Amino acid sequence: MANSSQLLKGILEGCILKIISRKETYGYELYNSLKLTGFEDLPEGTLYPLLIRLEKNGLLSSVSRNSPFGPKRKYYSLTKLGEEELLEFCASWSKISESVNKVLED
């Protein structure tokens, strides 16, 4: 599928927003959460540009905090706009996945 990377980016953005909506988190912790939920083949370098774009688009805010294990960590949380975007993603995903599943069942 030629545009599978674009499809994956859109899905990942929604998944990132959902994970961050549960609790404030930093990049590596988020990366591990994604891997544990089935994104095992996700290159680490894919996540950080998405976080930067989500923050630039006003969906995430961040704060740097000291880490007990080394350099400071950048913790992300959802903005109000991010919460709205997450609701839209969930509604769209529900409709799309239902339609795709119907097609695949035949």
Q: For the segment 15-30, what is each residue's pLDDT rounded down to a tens digit?
A: 999 999 999 999 999 9
- Which CATH number belongs to the domain containing residue 44 in this structure? 1.10.10.10
Please give the pLDDT value at position 3: 55
The total of structural domains in the chain comes to: 1
Q: What is the mean pLDDT of the chain?
A: 91
- CA distances for 6 relative to 14, 30, 84, angstroms: 13, 20, 22
Determine the structural domain holding residue 96 and report its residue range.
4-105
Q: Supply the pTM of this predicted model.
A: 0.88
Find out whether 30 and 16 touch, Cβ atoms under 8 Å: yes
Task: Say what percent of the chain tops pLDDT 70.
Answer: 96
Query: How confident is the model over 33-68, as pLDDT tens digits?
Result: 999 999 988 887 889 999 999 999 999 999 999 988
